[in-house]
Structures are given as C-alpha cells and as structure tokens.
Amino acid sequence: MRKLNFLFAIALLVVFSGTVLAQGIPVDIPGTGVNFFLYRYEGEVPYKEIDAIWDNISQVFQAWVDSGQDPGALSGQDVQVRGADIFVKNQFIVTADQYHANANKATPSQLAEKWAANLRKGVDAFVAINVLKD
C-alpha cells in the first residue's frame, strides 16, 4: 500500500508540474480591455514572439489611422482565419500552434477560430474608441 501511495504521489507531481511550469501573458488589443488570447510558455518569457503579434496588430491599426479612421473601413468582420493562421485585412497576426491548442484541448484550427472571435471584439472596440469625432 505504501508503494502504491508513493507511485500515486509521483504521478500527481508529474501531472501538476506541467501546470505549475506553464505560464501565460495576456495578449490584449491595446486600449480596449479586450484580451485576444493567453500566450502560454514555459521557461523564458517569449517577449520577441509577443512583440511580433502586437506589431502585426499595430500595423493594421496604423494603416486604418493613416487612411483617415473611417469607421466603415475596419471592423471585426475583417478578421479572417485560414487554417490556423489569423489575419486582419490580409495582414498576418498570429498562428494558433499545437502547443496552445493542446493547452486548450482543441485543434489549432479550432483554437484559431476562438482567438479570431476575441480579436473581432477587440477590433470593433478599438474602432469604436478611436473614431474621429466631428
């Protein structure tokens, strides 16, 4: 019985160690309070990857601002999923990878659809907040 308890304790440690080691940083749509997704990682914080996602999103918003901030020129409907890749107005944003899909008990394409739904809300919120008032 003692051996069985020991093996059970080891099994629990293995299961929970993966959970304890995994961390996450919310990737939000700047200024909206809308979280797009949780970037999960183990080990060092993946600043480079997260910055690339924010840069991709910023390019879309900057193009919208540069074109005059017409509220009809950008909306959540411009968010598209192609496989596991997410785009806004043909600007690549991020790929829902297998690591994140496993953490969410989904396939990459299912997860991409979930992230895209969040991004649609964020794009709509960003446009609503940043429309120029006459």
Which pTM value belongs to this model? Answer: 0.82
Q: Per the domain annotation, does 95 fall within a domain? A: yes
For 64, the token pair is 């919208």
11 in a structural domain = no
Asked if residue 22 lies in contact with residue 40, where contact means CB atoms within 8 angstroms, the answer is yes
Per-residue model confidence (pLDDT) at position 15? 45
Say how far apart CA 34 and CA 119 lie, in whole Å.
8
- The Cα–Cα gap between 121 and 10 comes to 43
User: pLDDT by residue (tens digit) across 89-132?
Assistant: 999 999 999 999 999 999 999 999 999 999 999 999 999 999 88
Counted domains in the chain: 1
Tell whether 1 is covered by a domain.
no
> Which amino acid, residue 71?
P
In a domain? residue 106 = yes
Whether 97 maps to a domain, the answer reads yes
Q: Which domain holds residue 32?
A: 22-130
Residue 90 neighbours by CB under 8 Å, 6+ apart = 80
Structure confidence at residue 1 as a pLDDT band (50, 70, 90): low
Tokens of 16: 């929970």
